[in-house]
Amino acid sequence: HAWAQTYAKATRDHPLPTESDGGAPIQFSYGTAGFRTRAEILHSTCFRAGALAAARSLAHGGQTTGIVITASHNPARDNGVKLVEPNGGTMPMALESVAEALANASEADAEAQIAALGEAARMVDASAAAAARASDRKPRVFVARDTRASGRALADAALAGIRAMGVEAVDRGVATTPQLHYYVLATNTGAPDAEADYYARLAAGYAALTEKDEDDMTETENDTDNFPPLVIDCADGVGGDKLAGLSEAVESYGLRFDLRNRGNAADSSLNDGVGSDLVQKARTPPMRGGFESLEPGTRCVSVDGDADRLIYFETPRSPGEPIALVDGDQIAVLIADFLGEMVREAEPYLTDVRVGVVQTAYANGASTKFLTERLGEPPACVPTGVKHLHHKAEEMDIGVYFESNGHGTALFSPAASKAIEEATVEALTQRAMPQVKALLALTHAQRCINPAVGDAMSGILLVEAILRVRKIKGSIANLYYTDLSSRQTKVVVRDRTTIKTVDAERTCEKPPGLQEAIEKILDDEGREKVRGRAFVRPSGTEDCVRVYVEATDEATVGRVTDAIVEKVR
Ligand code: NG1
Ligand code: ZN
């Protein structure tokens, strides 16, 4: 390899952490969302991840790849690194073991690192390989980071890793995870990829989707114009600045944001007492940002530390009441229902395009039941982690996927996009205006969505647009179904890897007896009557086991949780 020598030399300047894990060297693993751990031990990993992203650019004939330095919803002291492929997607799962071999090889063993990088530079599917051979692009990697204090130094390590491979490294500065994914996709498809272009694209999609036709205009000064500003909790993270940028782009179309926890206050603290993870899991409003003094029932959004998740909630209707949560499951149903209706309204010009939904085991059972009845078959269920959901949604014509915690988006297959375009032309020729209107809504929705990955910013625009098109001004909590009570609990055990799951994590295969114990606990509660469901899985991002329980009432959920936690410990 042309780069082997320079790499071998450079890697010595980026040593592994000197700390150890009880005598053994620290083992880095590419978990649900990249390498993620305490920031101070990530230096060598970021250098090597930079080199890996460079190898991926080489593998794709010089198409641009990317690196994001972030630990999303994890505490400020953590950081992490994830790779972005030329199509704006996440690193293929088949590369995870290669990435781990690279991250864990001793620094003296440059050979092992070079072997892993060589493998990453070769691993492409046949069509990509052919395209790569035909390409004469200059290899390049984009690097972005969130607002963590450790980000600058770790981004520098990644930049050094890229350059050690003789590949051009571009520092894209501070950006959200989905922004960097978009930049990579855009540049490789010849679209403008500056930050302003990203905002402009999303804003244009929003504007087109919400543009009123004459019928709407004649309605007495349509009061959907007077939506109050949307209150957004930015988790004291990168979303603070970036949503301000988006806000400027959408303001003239009547969408206003009231941004809170922007990370610029004296008491700012990333993800601590704020952000979507807290709101969704603890069912409380953010602890800072003045949410308690909002009008009862105010619609709010919470994003996470790298702004790839969004959760809606409504402030308590009366003191002492909990918030009304609109989690990823409810957002998915809202979006799928809207897109499904547009597809139906576009008949007979649009045919054979189906809207599907992908969930995980964490999806509230009430949402699964609703979708099963609505779609005529159960929604797809896959293991936790966006990569699994995304992958499954790619098999659908229009695939809407969301994790309950707010990671998600809607994907349009190339065939569906083409069918929509062709149907629009046909319907226009026939002057079939209701169908044209529905088809245009499907076209505009695609522009309003980040085409690379789930994105809190584009998610907010899409939801807000749907609410305006459908003239929904009141509460959006439990709009389609009423959530069952549920609870997530973390249990710290000696070795979480002893738990092995199957069936999209809904069944424990190991250790022996655990699944039987869970079944018995549910049966003892009268599973059918209380609509009880529970599962246990090892976390892919934290050193804990997660226990999920749902049922018709809090008390049952509490009892079942306690009983299962005891079995897991
Ligand atoms: P783990 O730690 O594997 O449960 C968590 C979230 C995932 C996903 C990843 C990546 C839950 C229960 N799990 O994974 O949905 O978001 O982090 O950020 O929320
Ligand atoms: Zn995130």
Predicted local distance difference test score (pLDDT) of residue 173? 98
- Tell me the CATH number at 490: 3.30.310.50
Give the integer Cα–Cα distance in Å for 249 and 226: 18
- Categorize the per-residue pLDDT at 215 as very low, low, confident or very high, splitting at 50, 70 and 90: low
194 in any annotated domain: no
Q: Are residues 57 and 107 in the same domain?
A: yes
- CB distance 405 to ligand 1 below 6 Å: yes
Q: Are residues 314 and 336 in the same domain?
A: no
By the 8 A CB rule, do 88 and 113 touch?
Answer: no
Q: Please tell me the total number of residues recorded for the chain in this structure.
A: 569
Indicate the pairing of strand 78-84 with strand 35-38: antiparallel
For residue 475, indicate whether it is catalytic. no
By the 8 A CB rule, do 357 and 332 touch?
Answer: yes
Domain count of the chain?
4
Q: Are residues 135 and 11 in the same domain?
A: yes
349 in any annotated domain: yes
Q: Are residues 13 and 154 in the same domain?
A: yes
18 in any annotated domain: yes
The DSSP code sequence of 335-375 is HHHHHHHHHHHTTTTS-S--EEEEE-TTS-HHHHHHHHHHH
Query: Does residue 166 carry a pLDDT above 60?
Result: yes
Q: Which of 439, 469, 499 is the last residue of a domain?
A: 469
- Tell me the CATH number at 418: 3.40.120
153 in any annotated domain: yes
- Mean per-residue pLDDT for 455-478? 96
Q: 128: which 2 tokens?
A: 């990509």
476 in any annotated domain: no
Ligand 1 atom 19: residue of nearest CA: 405
Q: 407 CA to middle of ligand 1, Å? A: 9
Indicate the pairing of strand 65-69 with strand 140-145: parallel
- Categorize the per-residue pLDDT at 263 as very low, low, confident or very high, splitting at 50, 70 and 90: very high
479 in any annotated domain: no
Q: CB-side exposure of 75: number of CA atoms within 13 Å?
A: 5
Q: What is the mean pLDDT of the chain?
A: 94
- Mean per-residue pLDDT for 488-499? 94
Q: 552: which 2 tokens?
A: 């018709």
* Greater model confidence, 224 or 547: 547
Q: pLDDT, tens digit, for every residue of 32-67? A: 789 999 999 999 999 999 999 999 999 999 999 999
Query: Does residue 217 carry a pLDDT above 80?
Result: no
Q: 29 CA to middle of ligand 1, Å? A: 15
Q: Are residues 423 and 493 in the same domain?
A: no
Q: Are residues 455 and 338 in the same domain?
A: yes
Give the pTM. Answer: 0.95
Choosing from 30, 32, 306, 358 the residue with most ligand 1 atoms within 8 A of its CB, the one to mutate for a pocket test is 32
Contacts of 389 (CB under 8 A, 6+ apart): 358, 359, 360, 382, 401, 402, 403, 407, 408
In 3D, which of 527, 568, 529, 528 has the Cα closest to residue 547?
A: 568
480 in any annotated domain: no
Q: Are residues 317 and 336 in the same domain?
A: no
Q: Are residues 25 and 146 in the same domain?
A: yes
- Identify the nearest ligand to the CA of 177 by its number: 2
- Mean per-residue pLDDT for 128-135? 77
CA end-to-end span of the chain: 50
Q: 513: which 2 tokens?
A: 């007896």
In 3D, which of 216, 207, 70 has the Cα closest to residue 152?
A: 70
- Mean per-residue pLDDT for 18-38? 88
Predicted local distance difference test score (pLDDT) of residue 222? 52
- CB distance 72 to ligand 1 below 6 Å: yes
Choosing from 403, 499, 548, 550 the residue with most ligand 1 atoms within 8 A of its CB, the one to mutate for a pocket test is 403
Please state whether the peptide bond connecting residue 75 to the residue before it is cis, i.e. omega within 30 degrees of 0: no
Q: Are residues 497 and 393 in the same domain?
A: no
Which candidate in 20, 29, 44, 72 is catalytic? 72
- Mean per-residue pLDDT for 441-469? 97
Least confident of 129-143, 199-213, 347-361, 451-465: 129-143
Give the integer Cα–Cα distance in Å for 166 and 144: 19
- Categorize the per-residue pLDDT at 225 as very low, low, confident or very high, splitting at 50, 70 and 90: low
Please give the backbone phi and psi of residue 488, each rounded to the nearest 5 degrees, phi first: -115, 135
Q: Environment class of residue 126 by beta-carbon count within 10 Å: exposed (0-12), middle (13-18) or buried (19+)?
A: exposed
Ligand 1 atom 5: residue of nearest CA: 541
ipTM over 0.90: yes
- CB distance 284 to ligand 1 below 6 Å: no
- CB distance 541 to ligand 1 below 6 Å: yes
Please state whether the peptide bond connecting residue 511 to the residue before it is cis, i.e. omega within 30 degrees of 0: yes
Give the integer Cα–Cα distance in Å for 325 and 313: 4
- Tell me the CATH number at 146: 3.40.120.10
- CB distance 385 to ligand 1 below 6 Å: yes
Q: 363: which 2 tokens?
A: 């999806």
Atom of ligand 1 nearest to the CA of 548: 12
Predicted local distance difference test score (pLDDT) of residue 33? 83
The DSSP code sequence of 523-542 is HHTTHHHHT-EEEEEE-SSS
Q: Are residues 452 and 522 in the same domain?
A: no
Q: Which of 290, 309, 325 is the last residue of a domain?
A: 325
Atom of ligand 1 nearest to the CA of 72: 18
At 124 the three-state DSSP class reads: coil
Q: Which of 325, 357, 385 is the last residue of a domain?
A: 325
Q: What interhelical angle do 433-448 and 195-210 show, nearest 10? A: 160
- CB distance 33 to ligand 1 below 6 Å: yes
Predicted local distance difference test score (pLDDT) of residue 53? 98
- Residue 38's domain comprises 4-189
Q: Letter for the amino acid at 396?
A: M
According to the 3-state scheme, what is the secondary structure of 376-441?
CCCCEECCCCHHHHHHHHCCCCEEEEECCCCEEEEEECHHHHHHHHHHHHHHHHCCCHHHHHHHHH
Q: 456 CA to middle of ligand 2, Å? A: 9
Q: Are residues 137 and 99 in the same domain?
A: yes
Predicted local distance difference test score (pLDDT) of residue 543? 87
Q: Are residues 130 and 234 in the same domain?
A: no
Give the integer Cα–Cα distance in Å for 470 and 334: 11
- CB distance 546 to ligand 1 below 6 Å: yes
Alpha-carbon torsion (185, 190, 191, 193), positive or negative: positive
474 in any annotated domain: no
Instruction: Give how far Cα 74 sits from Cα of 120, 220, 325, 447, Å.
Output: 28, 48, 21, 30
Atom of ligand 1 nearest to the CA of 407: 16
- CB distance 537 to ligand 1 below 6 Å: no
- Identify the nearest ligand to the CA of 538 by its number: 1
Please give the backbone phi and psi of residue 71, each rounded to the nearest 5 degrees, phi first: -120, 30
